[in-house]
Amino acid sequence: MIKLRGLRLGFETGFALAVDELYVREGEVFAIIGPNGAGKTTLLNAMAMLTPPAAGTLEIMGQDALRPANRLLLRRAMSVVFSQPYLTTDTVFNNVALPLALRGRKDRGAVERALELFKISHLKDRDARTLSQGESHRAALARAFVTEPKLLLLDEPFGSLDERVKDAITRDLRQVVKSSGAAVVLVTQDQAGALTLCDTLAVIVNGRILQQGEPQAIFSRPAAKEVADFVGVETILPGKVLSRTDNLCAVEAGGKTLMAVSDCAAGDSVFFCLRPEDVSVSMNADAGGRRNNFKSRIISVAPWGLEYKVELDCGFTLQAAVTKQLVDGLGLKPGGEVYASFKAVAAHLIKRIL
């Protein structure tokens, strides 16, 4: 659906986007995540043919998208939704009908269906300026789907919505996307949102795609320290592989010897990575078969979403996510002593290039 190669885009500010390869297949949901200012929106605007790149090739639906002559035709085969709905001063119905009007089409049925898909049929005669934020975003999505596009580009489509509204719209959007069979490129900072929607995930940092692939693989096996940082790996320790037996590596990191399952070789310099939800905290020394087990002192206990984040000192600093019940049950508080354990398979090693 989209084939992008060797894309280069520079700005006067010094920021540069460089994407070597990006493929979006038909019918797949491709999410691009990354921190603020990483170049996500720039990349999407390039794919939407709104910002011409300095170099590279961009093919959309088999057509050369960088040829000005193809631009309008390709734009009319796809839809783009931005973080702001940008509705016109008109009724909701006419807003949703606008893409059809721009294509010289009139199809009341299609407009009614699009309104129905995003559950705003009852608002069709309202002045779009009087909609709530959530309703405006729904109208923008209905407007994007009214042409039944084969390709949809979404740039932070629910930017400033509160969680509850966002969840409801995400649920409806997923249903529509799945049943429409359209390919979707979703740019977002919201990792949970990306995970619920996407088949393929790409992480972009500093204008470069550092990793792309199955979302689960990226979350548990980040390919670079920056990716690990962004996807919520909280413990990242520089270290060195001491030895390897089968695929079990002994790693010297943080002044301790840690066990990790990896195909790194002895002598490799690595980052030892661990997600906080993979760390168990207990009062007794029995690790229950986990290969890593350390007596630790609690540095701090802080609420973290629905759970608690416990910062531990076990020679190195380790972050653990624990439930409220556990915090209460064990009476976890700063200064207390506990055992922290984790499986070798939960740990992940990133090769460090020195």
Tokens of 157: 């489509």
Tokens of 232: 């919520």
Distance CA 22, CA 32 (A): 11
Q: What proportions of the chain, in percent to the nearest 5, are helix, strand and coil?
A: 30, 35, 35
- Looking at beta carbons only, is 138 or 343 nearer to another protein? 138
Whole-number minimum distance, CB 129 to another protein, in Å?
10
84-103 positions binding another protein, by CB under 8 A: 84, 86, 88-89, 98-99, 102-103
- Looking at beta carbons only, is 75 or 275 nearer to another protein? 75
Which of residues 31, 48, 241, 314 is near another protein by CB under 8 A? Answer: 48
Whole-number minimum distance, CB 72 to another protein, in Å?
6
**Does 54 participate in binding another protein (rule CB under 8 A)?**
no
For residue 197, give the nearest of 242, 260, 152, 227 by alpha carbon. Answer: 152
Which window, 6-14, 74-82, 111-119, 226-234, contacts another protein (CB under 8 A)? 74-82
- Looking at beta carbons only, is 72 or 266 nearer to another protein? 72
Which of residues 29, 39, 79, 292 is near another protein by CB under 8 A? Answer: 79
Distance CA 117, CA 103 (A): 21
Whole-number minimum distance, CB 75 to another protein, in Å?
5
**Does 179 participate in binding another protein (rule CB under 8 A)?**
no
Start-to-end CA distance of the chain, whole Å, equals: 38
| β-pair type (78-81, 151-155) | parallel
Tokens of 11: 């700005």
- Looking at beta carbons only, is 144 or 350 nearer to another protein? 144
Helix 108-117 vs helix 133-145: angle between axes, to the nearest 10 degrees?
Answer: 130
Whole-number minimum distance, CB 153 to another protein, in Å?
8
Which of residues 76, 108, 295, 333 is near another protein by CB under 8 A? Answer: 76
Which of residues 124, 138, 143, 244 is near another protein by CB under 8 A? Answer: 143
Which window, 44-52, 60-68, 248-256, 344-352, contacts another protein (CB under 8 A)? 44-52
DSSP string, 94-136: HHHHHHHHHTT---HHHHHHHHHHTT-GGGTTSBGGG--HHHH
- Looking at beta carbons only, is 116 or 127 nearer to another protein? 127
Contact in structure between 62 and 14 (CB atoms under 8 Å)? no
For residue 172, give the nearest of 139, 148, 199 by alpha carbon. Answer: 139
**DSSP H stretches of helix in 36-107:** 40-47, 68-75, 92-102
Whole-number minimum distance, CB 62 to another protein, in Å?
19
Binding-residue pattern over the window 218 to 257 for another protein, x denoting contact by CB under 8 A: ----------------------------------------
Binding site for another protein (CB under 8 A): 45, 48, 50, 72, 75-76, 79-80, 82, 84, 86, 88-89, 98-99, 102-103, 143, 147, 153
